[in-house]
Amino acid sequence: MSIKKVYFDNAATTPVDESSIEAVLSVMKYSWGNPSSTHAFGRTSRSLLERARRQFANDFDVDPAEIFFTSGATESITIAFHSACKEGVKHIITVSTEHKAVMDAANEMHIRHNIPLTILPVNQHGAIDLSELSEALQLHPGKALVAIMYVNNETGVIHPLKEIGEMVSNYNGLFFCDCVQAALYQDIKPKAQFVDYFSLSAHKIYGPKGVGLLYINKAREKHALWRGGSQERSLRPGTENIPGIAGFTAAWEKAQKNKDANQKKVQLLANRLLEGLSQIKGAKRNGTSTASHIVHLSIPSNKSTSAILLEFDLAGVALSAGSACQSGSHQRSHVVEAMGLPKGYVELRISIGKQNTEDDIDYLLTVLHKIAAN
């Protein structure tokens, strides 16, 4: 008898939407010209590229010249940090629960350019204290680069983006925001939110892997990581991934069109999950002011996290303990450590997608009850 399989690791990656697949295949079949070529084949690809750029720019209320396509959020983050440091940044401020890509970029700039680095703590709910950010912005003279994500990728905690951006702006700093987990359900308006740079990734919004986006305010300096061509206005040399960008755009358009309906569905599923979790002794949700699609919980257990995840996997349930980028590590997540969550528990991240159903939630709860009882 086959085992039921359900997927609750949508914060790691999402299944590719049919509209995105069709867009990718269409470009591969009919619009495969090099967008830098001046003949008709190239012009067709160039038209697709610039149409995609205008689509994103319109939805973010920015200039198309401020939108750059990349291979994904990690590359976008790295370009943003290098670009910011070219502006003479004298201090880097980030948070202890940031994605590893941001933490590594901050540490690289700290070491390479000898720039002071401040890592702000969070409380037990994963929230930052804005007064501590204000104090940090006054620690060193000169311009600071502040890097704080919109929605935490492990806990779903939503940081007060506009308040942070306004504070950074008031101190004449630069603000980078990782918006990867915010893209589906939060409003992203960088001008109104005082954001200088932000990153997105296609495969987190039902698009293909290997393509992402970087926004850079046109008033900011830009610094390429390598040389080799004038693509993306010389910021990201190399022939553009037109099939990926087309799939990214199709996924984005579909997500924006169905945003309210999808969010309502996901919230109802999350509520059903939380109601079921209340029946498990000692189980608790972590985080405060969280996004609807990420439920981070702790369950009492003396077993290792890897053993618990294996039990879920054998039962056909795909979920995680945290970021997929650190899934090979057997240590507790740096996010869990930063929040000071107590030992004697196993932390799980259940991330819900638009494709999930009430039956999926009920099956997950059945498996969770069995594992918790053992």
Crossing angle of helices 242-257 and 40-60, rounded to 10°: 30
Q: Under 8 Å CB-to-CB from 251, ≥6 apart: which residues?
A: 16, 17, 19, 20, 202, 205, 206, 207, 208
Q: What letter does residue 19 receive in the DSSP assignment?
A: H
Q: Which long-range contacts (CB under 8 A, 24 or more apart) does 327-334 make?
A: 330/304, 330/305, 330/306, 332/305, 333/154, 334/96, 334/97, 334/100, 334/103
Q: Return d(Cα 185, Cα 187) in angstroms, integer.
A: 7
Q: DSSP readout, 216-229? A: E-TTS----SS-S-
Query: Does the annotation mark 177 as catalytic?
Result: no
Q: Return d(Cα 298, Cα 344) in angstroms, integer.
A: 9
What's the angle, vertex CA 176, arms to CA 81 and CA 102, rounded to 5? 60
Please name the residue that has the structure tokens 């030992």. Answer: 343
Q: Which residues are catalytic?
A: 325
